[in-house]
Amino acid sequence: MVMVAALPVAAGAQMTAETTAPSDEIVVTGVKGRWSLEGKRLRAAQAAFVAGQPRYAPGSRLVFQINLKTDRSPDGLVLTLRKGDEIVAVPLDGDRRFTLPLLDSDDWLLSANRTPAEVGVRMWVFSSNSTEFDRRLGDMRLHCRVAWALKRDRASIFQRAAFSTLGGCESASIMFITTATRPLASAEVVSAAGAVRPLEVKDGLQYGMPIGDKSLTDEARVHLVAR
């Protein structure tokens, strides 16, 4: 539904893949051809993260990552926050990941010097002991809440009503699907007690996040094995 990260797909008997964006990429609107994301949506995501962090993932970080969609070199890629005449450079690490300060206004705009056809952004929630391939379930549960906050204003009235009626991120009736950054050989969830259960991998990249399973605590872990 980190994005930005990003957004896992919610699918179920009453909520199908057609009701949500079938991608982990944060949906954006290009401004003058540039990839950009409005401050209002970023602030909604940050508010959801701050609200859920103590419960689901104390000490975690909200991280965004730029994905390259073309063969164009990432050299010269620049990310900035702008509000009027104020411009703040956003540094990227070696994996093109970045964090953002808490924004104080909806007037901020995050933008890159590339088009939406060239780059996308996804979102992650990571505790200190989590990586993409070994994640706490609590991180994933918080990820869902942050992702929905980012996505909600782009969802239809039907989508919002269906998501709420089915229980949202607490629902055991919705299959929450996310996409790995590398092809997968397998995926599994390991309970805090050590019980192991395989997770279905679809199309070599997508897998279900068991965030609605009440038998699993936030300390359960999802392990992925890349091909």
Establish if 131 belongs to a structural domain.
yes
d(CA 10, CA 81): 30
- Per the structure, the count of domains in the chain is 1
99 — pLDDT class (breaks 50, 70, 90): very high
pLDDT band at 153 (very low <50, low <70, confident <90, very high): confident
Q: Residue 33: its pLDDT value, please?
A: 78
- Whole-model pTM: value is 0.86
Label residue 32 left, alpha or beta by phi (over 0 means left) and psi (-120 to 50 means alpha): left
Asked whether residue 210 is assigned to any structural domain, the reply reads no
For 122-183, the three-class secondary structure string (H helix, E strand, C coil) is: EEEEECCCCECCEEEHHHHHHHHHHHHHHHHHHCCHHHHHHHHHCCHHHCCCCEEEEECCCC
* Residue 171, domain member (yes or no): yes
Residue 201 lies in a domain: no
Q: What is the mean pLDDT of residues 212-227?
A: 97
Res 175: pLDDT? 84
- Asked if residue 137 belongs to a domain, the reply is yes
Distances (CA, A) of 169 to 1, 11, 25: 10, 12, 18
Lowest mean pLDDT among 63-67, 124-128, 174-178: 174-178
The pLDDT > 70 percentage for the chain reads 86
Give a yes or no: residue 158 inside a domain. yes
Instruction: Determine which of 58-62, 85-89, 176-180 has the lowest per-residue pLDDT on average.
Output: 176-180
Q: How confident is the model at residue 11 (pLDDT cuts 50, 70, 90)?
A: very low
- Look at residue 198 and give its three-state secondary structure: strand
Average pLDDT across the chain, whole number? 87
| Domain annotation covers residue 208 | no
Residue-range definition of the domain harbouring residue 13: 9-178
Convert the pLDDT of each residue in 164-183 to its tens digit: 999 999 998 888 999 999 99
